[in-house]
Structure 1
């Protein structure tokens, strides 16, 4: 076994040092936001809290979970994410599997047409007029159907099917009497759990973080996703509905302090589900990126 040279040791040390710096840069904002959400607001504003919580308090979370609109937003976001991801997964699989089959006539032309849409689109105004003409304004479908399928994800899944599912296996299934749908359901999908997990991660994160379509197409606050309420708090500063009593009862200073801690608590609450989901799918996420980098 060869011993590492001095150059190898130096390069290894530099790599570990760079990774340590990146780790600090990534972790510090996360720890800061989490600590700020459970710290005394005055300590955060005055800069006395810089890493760990100061004067532990859960006032921000208490106000959030006692606010009806936030709970409605949470419910709506979960609904949009689950339904949207299920439709995305179905549509992507339905498109990717035929395109992965060498015996599918015209697959090159269809792939070219799909790729064309990645570079050119109708734009916001034509899309809005289309959604309006389909009577989907202010409905869940305005958030889900326009993005029901991603060409990029179709290419990733198609490449996985081509490289990871042996054609001989599908031919053997056909000899045994399986049709195309049976082959897909009984043979291909059970062997494609890694790419399915990647698609679930891609699509669910996209739905969970999406707010622009809701901002354009939804008008009733009862249908707003959580991200729209988060946007109001972080961008527009609309925290009056969460600060109980108003300035007349608790004073303007206290209202500002409560608004500050609510912002941090809201960021934590809005991102916890994705943080919980990602560790279980992280290894598949990396694999999905590598699959997409290989020419199909």
Structure 2
């Protein structure tokens, strides 16, 4: 058998396998979207169906009844995600670059310091006291940003990336040419580190976008409520409405038209779809960053 034809057949098999695997990953999310658009009566009678008999936007209309509160919470989440990701990527990258340099005298100390706080977390109570009593950030949007503004795991990723992907020859050549550390970092290291920065930025953005626990701890005002915490409150309200309908209370008749099942899936779609749409943009930076810079032999 020709080795080239064997290789082509193997590539075809792997491509088909990867295609099936990709579709299997997309199928659950597509199914959630379908169920969120299913009429509540169909879910009650027929259960969850891949192709429902009746389509409706009732669950999303119910979510939109909150009006400006939903849009305001969405804006708060976007602001927290963007600003928090930028701050985290900047702090983690600069810290990691410093401890990755062999000529930095305190590299071992600061590496141990980072690992120490990763292994021995202070806990929720000290963090709550620092944010509310020392920093006075109660009901402040910065309470949603600063607790996650520095990630030790991101530092370790970037430290390994700088050690393996940023050649010492380039840095030494720049120093010989008279460039300072800040100029070397901004003009040489950052372009070479785009894949690593894009990776930790994606992890950080996912963390900020999905975070509702900090909002529950530090905020009571609707002005700084993110979309995730708002959706959690809506979900809790739906659960209470369901219990009232099952108990047959006086308000059960008025609550029977609420799409209690479909709205659960609509909440998942609203919470997941925006951040899922950012993946292609990060993928573009992954590919671009792999081709930036290099050492000329």
CA contact (8 A) 2:194 2:286 kept: no
Spell out the pairing of 1:39-78 with structure 2 (5 A cutoff): 39-67=38-66, 68-78=68-78
> In the alignment, which residue of structure 2 is the partner of 1:251?
254
Quote how far apart the aligned CAs of 1:64 are: 2.4
Quote how far apart the aligned CAs of 1:259 are: 3.1
Question: Structure 1: how far apart are the matches of 2:125 and 2:253?
Answer: 45
Spell out the pairing of 1:123-202 with structure 2 (5 A cutoff): 123-133=123-133, 134-202=135-203
Quote how far apart the aligned CAs of 1:83 are: 1.1
Question: Structure 1: how far apart are the matches of 2:30 and 2:69?
Answer: 27
Compared CA separation, residues 233 and 46, structure 1 to 2 (3 A): farther
Cα displacement string for residues 213-252 of structure 1 (whole angstroms, at most 9, x for unaligned residues) = 1111111122111111221233452687xxxxxx979733
Q: How many corresponding residue pairs?
A: 275
Question: Structure 2: how far apart are the matches of 1:265 and 1:101?
Answer: 48
TM-score (norm 2): 0.81
CA contact (8 A) 2:194 2:285 kept: no
Question: Structure 2: how far apart are the matches of 1:35 and 1:164?
Answer: 44
Task: List structure 1 segments (4+ residues) > 6 angstroms apart after TM superposition.
Answer: 16-19, 247-250, 283-286
Quote how far apart the aligned CAs of 1:65 are: 3.1
> In the alignment, which residue of structure 1 is the partner of 2:293?
none
> In the alignment, which residue of structure 2 is the partner of 1:243?
none
> In the alignment, which residue of structure 2 is the partner of 1:244?
none
Quote how far apart the aligned CAs of 1:48 are: 4.8
Compared CA separation, residues 94 and 41, structure 1 to 2 (3 A): same
RMSD of aligned residue pairs (Cα, Å): 3.1
> In the alignment, which residue of structure 2 is the partner of 1:275?
276
Q: Which runs of 5 or more structure 1 residues have no equivalent in the other structure?
A: 241-246, 289-296
Compared CA separation, residues 218 and 92, structure 1 to 2 (3 A): same
> In the alignment, which residue of structure 2 is the partner of 1:217?
218
Cα displacement string for residues 15-34 of structure 1 (whole angstroms, at most 9, x for unaligned residues) = x889958954x444312210
CA contact (8 A) 2:42 2:52 kept: no
Question: Structure 2: how far apart are the matches of 1:52 and 1:284?
Answer: 37
Question: Structure 2: how far apart are the matches of 1:96 and 1:21?
Answer: 35
> In the alignment, which residue of structure 2 is the partner of 1:91?
91
SS of the residue 1:54 aligns to: coil
TM-score (norm 1): 0.81
Question: Structure 2: how far apart are the matches of 1:259 and 1:103?
Answer: 61
Quote how far apart the aligned CAs of 1:128 are: 0.9
CA contact (8 A) 2:206 2:275 kept: yes
SS of the residue 1:237 aligns to: helix
Compared CA separation, residues 22 and 172, structure 1 to 2 (3 A): closer
